[in-house]
C-alpha cells in the first residue's frame, strides 16, 4: 500500500534560489567595496533562507513526527519477531557448531590412530631388518619421514534442510590494542588498514591548542569561517 505525501511547490522560491546562485557565481571580490557588497548579499541569503524555512519547516516537522510514530509502531510489532528469529538462529548455529566440533574431534582421533598404525608398521619393519642383520637398512627405515597419514573425513550428521543454509563469517576482536599498534607500525603496508586516527579527538586538541598543536604525523589546518548576522 502506497501513502502519497503532497508537498507544495513554490516557483517563487525556486526562481529566487536560482537567481541567488547566479549572483553568487558572478561576485568578484577584489576591493573593500566588493567585500561590502558581498556581505550585503549574504544578508539577502539569510532573508531568503528564512522564507524557505517558514514555507517548509512546519511540513518537515509534521512529516518527521509521523515518520517517528510509524517507525515506533512498526517496531512495537517487529521487535518480538526479530528477537524470536535471532533466538532460533543462534540455537541452530550453536547446535551446528557443536556437531562440527564433535566431528573434528573424531577426525583428529582417527587421524592420530592412523599415524600410530603407520609408526608401528615403520618400527616393525625396522625391527625385522635389524633382526635379519640389516642394521643400516633398519636405521634408514627409522630415520625416514613417516608416510603422510590419510585425511579422514567425519560426517557431522547434519542433514540438508530445504530453504536453510549456513556460512562461516569471520571477524576480528582486538584483545590487545598496544600489540596491534606495535605490529602495524612494524608493517607500514597494513598500517592504514588496521589503525585509523580518532579525528574527533585530534580536531578537539587542535582547536584547544591552536598554532601550538604539535603531534608527530599531524599538522594544523586553519580555515577561515565567515558568519553573517541577519539584518
Distance separating alpha carbons of residues 171 and 186, to the nearest angstrom? 23
Q: Per the domain annotation, does 18 fall within a domain? A: no
Predicted confidence at residue 171, as pLDDT, reads 85
Predicted confidence at residue 55, as pLDDT, reads 95
Domain range enclosing 179: 173-223
Predicted confidence at residue 61, as pLDDT, reads 95
Distance separating alpha carbons of residues 171 and 191, to the nearest angstrom? 18
Q: Per the domain annotation, does 210 fall within a domain? A: yes
Q: Per the domain annotation, does 46 fall within a domain? A: no
- The structure's pTM equals 0.63
Lookup: cell for 103:
566431528
Q: Per the domain annotation, does 184 fall within a domain? A: yes
Q: Per the domain annotation, does 213 fall within a domain? A: yes
Distance separating alpha carbons of residues 76 and 72, to the nearest angstrom? 6
Query: CB-based contacts of 142: which residues, under 8 Å, 6+ apart?
Result: 122, 123, 126
Q: Per the domain annotation, does 181 fall within a domain? A: yes
Question: Sign (positive/negative) of CA torsion 42, 47, 52, 56?
Answer: positive
Q: Per the domain annotation, does 72 fall within a domain? A: no
Lowest-pLDDT range of 67-81, 137-151, 158-172, 202-216? 137-151
Confidence class for position 231, pLDDT limits 50, 70, 90: low
Predicted confidence at residue 53, as pLDDT, reads 96
Domains in the chain, number: 1
Q: Per the domain annotation, does 36 fall within a domain? A: no
Amino acid at each position: 500500500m502506497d501513502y502519497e505525501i503532497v508537498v507544495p511547490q513554490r516557483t517563487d522560491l525556486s526562481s529566487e534560489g536560482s537567481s541567488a546562485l547566479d549572483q553568487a557565481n558572478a561576485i568578484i571580490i577584489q576591493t573593500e567595496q566588493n567585500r561590502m557588497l558581498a556581505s550585503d548579499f549574504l544578508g539577502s541569503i539569510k532573508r531568503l533562507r528564512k522564507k524557505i524555512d517558514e514555507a517548509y519547516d512546519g511540513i518537515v516537522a509534521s512529516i518527521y513526527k509521523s515518520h517517528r510514530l510509524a517507525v515506533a509502531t512498526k517496531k512495537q510489532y517487529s521487535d518480538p519477531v526479530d528477537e524470536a528469529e535471532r533466538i532460533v538462529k543462534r540455537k541452530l548455529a550453536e547446535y551446528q557448531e557443536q556437531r562440527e566440533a564433535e566431528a573434528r574431534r573424531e577426525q583428529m582421533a582417527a587421524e592420530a590412530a592412523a599415524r600410530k598404525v603407520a609408526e608401528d608398521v615403520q618400527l616393525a619393519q625396522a625391527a625385522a631388518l635389524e633382526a635379519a642383520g640389516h642394521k643400516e637398512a633398519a636405521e634408514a627405515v627409522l630415520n625416514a619421514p613417516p608416510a603422510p597419514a590419510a585425511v579422514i573425513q567425519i560426517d557431522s550428521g547434519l542433514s540438508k534442510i530445504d530453504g536453510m543454509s549456513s556460512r562461516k563469517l569471520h571477524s576480528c576482536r582486538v584483545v590487545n590494542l598496544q600489540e596491534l599498534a606495535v605490529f602495524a607500525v612494524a608493517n607500514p603496508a597494513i598500517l592504514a588498514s588496521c589503525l585509523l586516527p580518532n579525528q574527533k579527538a585530534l580536531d578537539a586538541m587542535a582547536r584547544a591548542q591552536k598554532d601550538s598543536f604539535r603531534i608527530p604525523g599531524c599538522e594544523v589546518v586553519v580555515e577561515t569561517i565567515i558568519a553573517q548576522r541577519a539584518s
